[in-house]
Structure 1
Amino acid sequence: MPHLLVDITAHGYGHIAQTAPVVNELARRIPDLRVTVRSAAPPSYLQQRFTCPFHHIPVALDFGMTMFNAVEVDVAHSLANYREYHADWDAKVVQAAQEMRALQPDLLFANVPYLSLAAAQLAQIPAVAMCCLNWADIYRHYAPDDIESRAIHAQMLAAYNGAEVFLKVSPTMPMGGLSKARAIAPIAQVGVEQRSLAQSRCGASEGDKLVLVAMGGIDYRLPIEKWPRLAGVRWLVPHAWNIQRDDTYALEMMGMSFSDVLASCDAVLTKPGYGTFAEAACAGIPVLYVSRGDWPEQPYLIEWLAQHGVCGEVSAAQLHSGELEKSLQQLWQQIQP
């Protein structure tokens, strides 16, 4: 029975959204495939995305960047964390290689923790990396150009270049430092449009517009309690926000997958992130997004979405005040490409 080890960063949900469709298809083609998933992501979310049986090992294999919230990077703490993380890098790789050998995988599929790839190289386990970004390039964007930072970046890049191949999922950062990169098409779990069911579940009238509020896997609660009511608009929001308004409904109470809810809406309010951008574009759902500042992946996501979907930007101030009616109307007047 072939054993696939799947290591996924828990920095947001986009990495899982990319990885799960690939693993699900592999399991369909290889019925006796044994899948082990290592990730610090919530088990409930993994179960939503992976349709094949899998064994979950809850472990954080990287931290990406330390965040104040979904759109703001805590640069100082991130750089300090990387200095600490790499202080005993060689010992970390040895320990990780021992743990990987104990699992006895036939292949590592990583999105995109570089410690796993370095461990696989040391353990002589074949490895494939896949993502629209890598943490070496993200780190280099924020780090100072000094000897210590260059050494950390070199260790990260060496780990990525130790993979058999790095599959660059479109839309992607350039990632010019990768020696074995191969560009591939977008990956998305495209939902099934069930608009009538979605309207019924959330108590919307037939003519109401459904707007999904999906800020990703890193906390970014919006003050919807203070927003003005928009006639004919029903907001679908995270249950954890505990919004007590009759023009909102908890996403988790819909009894539908995230992808199906997204495909059944009139718009999604989000921040630039791979999973929601790709799924919205493939389902033909307009996107309102708030900028992530100088996050280096952002320009490539927005450029791609503007070419393949309908989108518009709103400010952080608009998200705070709820003054979104004009932006939504402009969004709905655009023509799908």
Structure 2
Amino acid sequence: MLIIACISGHGFGHGSRVAALLGALHRLEPQCRFLLSTPLPEAFLKQAFAAIPHQQRNCCWDVGVVQADALGSDPAATLQALEALEPLLANQVELEAQAISAMLLPGEKAVVLADVAPAAVLLAERLALPLVWQANFGWDAIYQELGGELVAWAKRCNGLYRRGTALLECPFCLDMDWELPRCQIGLSAGVPRLSPDELRQSIGWDFAKQKTAMLSFGGMGFPLDRKLLQRWPDWGFFVAEPELALAPNAKLLPHDLRPLDLLPICGVVITKPGYSTFCEALGQGIGVIAVERQGFAEAEVLLEGLRNHGWHRCLSRGSFLKGEWQLDEPLIPPAKGPLAPGGEIEAARYLLEFLT
């Protein structure tokens, strides 16, 4: 069986979500073959998919939303990027279809898994293969919210999504009115690779779990003055930016570990609203301090889900930039109970049943 995973290059969260699903699928069916069709950087893919035998083809199927920074979007640049990609897709579909056809073994079953680039359906149709979306939103909803000339792109995306075969509907979802059969799944996340004791020993970490925070803002990162970390001297921080790591109570994320791998020794994650980060933290029973994010319709749905299902605190961008992180205050309990974990296993079983 061959899984052709078309992964959005918008951010690492899409890649992490697909990695969780393919990891579960590999454990259930080790003979499955995996092809990653994505522009995500090789360094990220090597980390996220380290335990999954795979091939990669560097293909850009969507642009998502061009971001001004980790907390804000740039609609004008997004429109320009969409207009630049559109005339390239027909040739890319033809080249990729030829390459994938040559990979398929006689009689081998295959499916296109897309998270969540609309143009992936063009590849599936060219190959005469079914396409399963994995999503908690589509770009149609995001572009509709941004308005202006992007509304026409929202309609185009919606039409492409409707041409898929099925939908794996993730938690924290926007409305996806694509009129497809769907399977609702629980929290989908990967599995940390080391135990807390192994982690502490390997990286030399002395801060207690309840005094350890991870600053995680995705692939773009977020520039901060390291003096803000020193406002909380009894806390230790894992950070992604070398400049922040110069603070005496900070440590740069080890290059051979994913943020997920460090969560077992963290008490809280400070982050923007992001699907995979929320799933990974809530799945590990870790609190989340979320910083407001502008110009992205998914953000408010994620924050509502966090308030309902996780120990949390929500910060304004202004408070975050001042270092007013309220780490000395208890987190707010969830309004409802926790979400069920294991969504990646549910999705993997669905795909296996779908293929067989």
Shorter-chain TM-score: which interval? 0.7 to 0.9
Partner of 1:112: 116
Deviates more, 1:294-303 or 1:284-293: 294-303
Instruction: Find out whether 1:27 has 2:26 as its counterpart.
Output: yes
Counterparts of 1:249-264 in structure 2, within 5 Å, are 249-252=251-254, 256-264=257-265
Q: Distance in 2 between matches of 1:107 and 1:211?
A: 39
Q: Distance in 2 between matches of 1:217 and 1:203?
A: 24
Instruction: Find out whether 1:139 has 2:143 as its counterpart.
Output: yes
Give, as a single letter, the amino acid of the residue that structure 2 aligns with 1:224.
R
Give, as a single letter, the amino acid of the residue that structure 1 aligns with 2:99.
A
Partner of 2:89: 92
What secondary structure, in the 3-state scheme, does the structure 2 residue paired with 1:45 have?
helix
Question: Does the C-alpha gap of structure 1 residues 137 and 208 become closer, same or farther in structure 2, counting only changes over 3 Å?
Answer: closer
Q: Which has the higher contact order (CA 8 A, sep 6+)?
A: 2
Question: Does the C-alpha gap of structure 1 residues 24 and 197 become closer, same or farther in structure 2, counting only changes over 3 Å?
Answer: closer
TM-score using structure 2 length: 0.83
What secondary structure, in the 3-state scheme, does the structure 2 residue paired with 1:279 have?
helix
Partner of 2:269: 268
Partner of 1:329: 328
Q: Percent identity?
A: 23
Q: Distance in 1 between matches of 2:2 and 2:259?
A: 29
Kindly state the Cα deviation for residue 202 of structure 1 after the two structures are TM-superposed. Answer: 4.2
Kindly state the Cα deviation for residue 199 of structure 1 after the two structures are TM-superposed. Answer: 4.5
Contact 2:170 2:187 in 1 (8 A): yes
Question: Does the C-alpha gap of structure 1 residues 150 and 290 become closer, same or farther in structure 2, counting only changes over 3 Å?
Answer: closer
What secondary structure, in the 3-state scheme, does the structure 2 residue paired with 1:330 have?
coil
What secondary structure, in the 3-state scheme, does the structure 2 residue paired with 1:252 have?
coil
Q: Distance in 2 between matches of 1:214 and 1:6?
A: 25
Q: Distance in 1 between matches of 2:133 and 2:4?
A: 12
Contact 1:192 1:264 in 2 (8 A): no
What secondary structure, in the 3-state scheme, does the structure 2 residue paired with 1:96 have?
helix
Q: Distance in 2 between matches of 1:322 and 1:193?
A: 31
Partner of 1:297: 298
1:115-138 CA distance string (max 9 Å, x none): 111231243222111111111211
Instruction: Find out whether 1:317 has 2:318 as its counterpart.
Output: yes
| Aligned residue pair count | 327
Question: Does the C-alpha gap of structure 1 residues 48 and 9 become closer, same or farther in structure 2, counting only changes over 3 Å?
Answer: same
1:23-44 CA distance string (max 9 Å, x none): 1222223322221111121222
TM-score using structure 1 length: 0.87
Q: Distance in 2 between matches of 1:40 and 1:308?
A: 33
Give, as a single letter, the amino acid of the residue that structure 1 aligns with 2:212.
L
Deviates more, 1:270-279 or 1:5-14: 5-14
Give, as a single letter, the amino acid of the residue that structure 1 aligns with 2:234.
G
Q: Distance in 1 between matches of 2:210 and 2:188?
A: 30
Unaligned runs of 5+ in 2: 105-109, 338-356
Partner of 1:62: 62
Q: Distance in 1 between matches of 2:233 and 2:150?
A: 52
Q: Distance in 2 between matches of 1:95 and 1:332?
A: 48
Give, as a single letter, the amino acid of the residue that structure 2 aligns with 1:58.
N
Kindly state the Cα deviation for residue 179 of structure 1 after the two structures are TM-superposed. Answer: 3.8
Counterparts of 1:1-12 in structure 2, within 5 Å, are 2-12=1-11
Contact 2:224 2:244 in 1 (8 A): no
Deviates more, 1:37-46 or 1:280-289: 37-46
Give, as a single letter, the amino acid of the residue that structure 1 aligns with 2:250.
T
Kindly state the Cα deviation for residue 6 of structure 1 after the two structures are TM-superposed. Answer: 0.9
What's the Cα RMSD here? 2.6
Partner of 1:186: 187
Partner of 2:99: 102
Unaligned runs of 5+ in 1: none
Contact 2:170 2:186 in 1 (8 A): yes
